[in-house]
């Protein structure tokens, strides 16, 4: 069994989609990554920070999924990171309405002692200096470091972001963000430029259009499962990343061939995430549901063609 250390926000979100609106509900990149990775037989820990307003039941939920929460600092007099977003009809674009960093403003992540030798490190979407600090604390060089980020950090901390990107193996990023980071419209060219920044593997997430994995001249594509109803895409990217990293931590095989499977696992798990608001669908996902969905992915993409 592999060890996975996750750093990312544990948050309150308020979400509006064409299907409805929520008040403050459980959210955060770290939360989605942790819930997704909990579908694998791995020891995982989340490193994060919350305020005194964070409800105990949410911490209990994470613990119930066998996630080590000793690295989640609770600042009694502080407020939890809050994000609010609104989706448009096509659900592929969203506006961020509010980002309140709150306790995140002075966050010094502390990796639990027994996770400093984790084989896989998942640096969730957070300030790049926080991501770097987690890497600095690892006492054994991890087998794989995966980083996820977003335009918010490109806008306010681009140099720090470029510095941490130099130190990682895999970046997961969405298409618009890959374009923003590189100034290239073609995703193939963008991936090439990101390779030159450091990561040997580049995963570009394209929302309902699936995900691309690049490794030098090699390329792999996994679709997203076409769904009749997408209620809330929040957290789909993080769920993808959690599935990707969780699968690689479990198998311990970080080859390009195995990363293809990790992309499919990530896509399958993300397809559940969007079926309900917030984390709801990810809270009670059974092994057999995941297996069935993987089978659907297989049927969706497998074909025999005779070359003449
Ligand atoms: P995703 O839909 O995968 O991009 O992730 C949505 C989650 O990211 C939400 O649950 C938010 O709490 C969290 N989030 C939004 N903005 C930020 C940010 N600037 N830094 C870290 N996490 C964020």
Best of 150, 161, 204, 274 to mutate for ligand 1, by most ligand atoms within 8 A of CB? Answer: 150
Which residue(s) pair with 25 in the sheet? 13
pLDDT of 207: 87
Which residue(s) pair with 222 in the sheet? 211
Q: Which residues contact 116 (CB under 8 A, 6 or more apart)?
A: 137, 138, 139, 140
Ligand 1 site, residue 12, Cβ cutoff 6 A: no
pLDDT of 1: 67
Domains and CATH numbers, the chain: 3-300 (3.40.1190.20)
pTM: 0.96
Q: Whose CA is nearest to atom 19 of ligand 1?
A: 152
Dig out the tokens for 52 from the structure. 């005194």
Dig out the tokens for 25 from the structure. 């509900």
Dig out the tokens for 194 from the structure. 């990101």
What's the CA gap between 106 and 136, in Å, rounded? 18
Ligand 1 site, residue 68, Cβ cutoff 6 A: no
Atom of ligand 1 nearest to the CA of 127: 20
- In Å, what is the CA distance from 81 to each residue of 52, 132, 133? 11, 20, 19
Distance of CA 191 to the CA centre of its chain: 18
Ligand 1 site, residue 13, Cβ cutoff 6 A: yes
pLDDT of 93: 80
Ligand 1 site, residue 172, Cβ cutoff 6 A: no
Return averaged pLDDT per consecutive 10 residues of the chain, 308 residues in all: 94 94 96 98 97 98 98 98 93 89 96 98 97 98 97 95 98 96 97 98 94 96 90 95 98 97 97 96 96 94 88
Q: Whose CA is nearest to atom 15 of ligand 1?
A: 83
Please give the torsion angle defined by the CA atoms of residues 254, 259, 263 and 266, in that order, rounded to the nearest 10 degrees: -20
Say how many Å lie between the CA of residue 33 and the centre of ligand 1.
Answer: 11
Say how many Å lie between the CA of residue 2 and the centre of ligand 1.
Answer: 26
What's the CA gap between 81 and 13, in Å, rounded? 9
């Amino acid at each position: 069994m592999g060890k996975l250390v996750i750093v990312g926000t544990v948050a309150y979100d308020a979400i509006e989609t064409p299907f409805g609106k929520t008040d403050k509900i459980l959210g955060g990149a770290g939360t989605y990554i942790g819930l997704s990775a909990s579908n694998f037989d791995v020891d995982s820990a989340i490193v994060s920070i919350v305020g005194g307003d964070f409800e105990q039941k949410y911490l209990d939920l994470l613990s119930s999924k066998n996630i080590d929460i000793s690295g989640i600092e609770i600042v009694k007099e502080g407020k939890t990171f809050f994000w609010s977003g609104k989706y448009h009809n096509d659900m592929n674009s969203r506006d961020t309405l509010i980002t309140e960093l709150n306790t995140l403003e002075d966050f010094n992540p502390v990796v639990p002692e027994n996770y400093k030798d984790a084989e896989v490190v998942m640096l969730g979407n957070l300030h790049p200096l926080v991501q770097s600090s987690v890497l600095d604390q690892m006492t054994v060089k991890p087998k794989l470091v995966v980083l996820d980020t977003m335009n918010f950090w490109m806008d306010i901390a681009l140099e720090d972001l470029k510095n941490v990107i130099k130190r990682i193996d895999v970046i997961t990023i969405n298409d618009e963000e890959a374009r923003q980071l590189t100034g290239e419209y073609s995703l193939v060219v963008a991936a090439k430029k990101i390779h030159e920044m450091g990561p040997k593997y580049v995963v570009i997430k394209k929302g309902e259009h699936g995900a691309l994995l690049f490794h030098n001249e090699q390329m792999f594509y996994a679709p997203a499962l076409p769904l009749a109803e997408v209620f809330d895409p929040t957290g789909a990217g993080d769920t993808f990343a959690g599935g990707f990293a969780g699968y690689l931590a479990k198998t311990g095989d970080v080859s390009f061939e195995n990363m293809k499977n990790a992309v499919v696992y990530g896509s399958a798990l993300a397809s559940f995430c969007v079926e309900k608001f917030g984390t709801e669908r990810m809270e009670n996902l059974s092994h057999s549901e995941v297996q069935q969905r993987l089978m659907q992915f297989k049927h969706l993409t497998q074909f025999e063609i005779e070359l003449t």
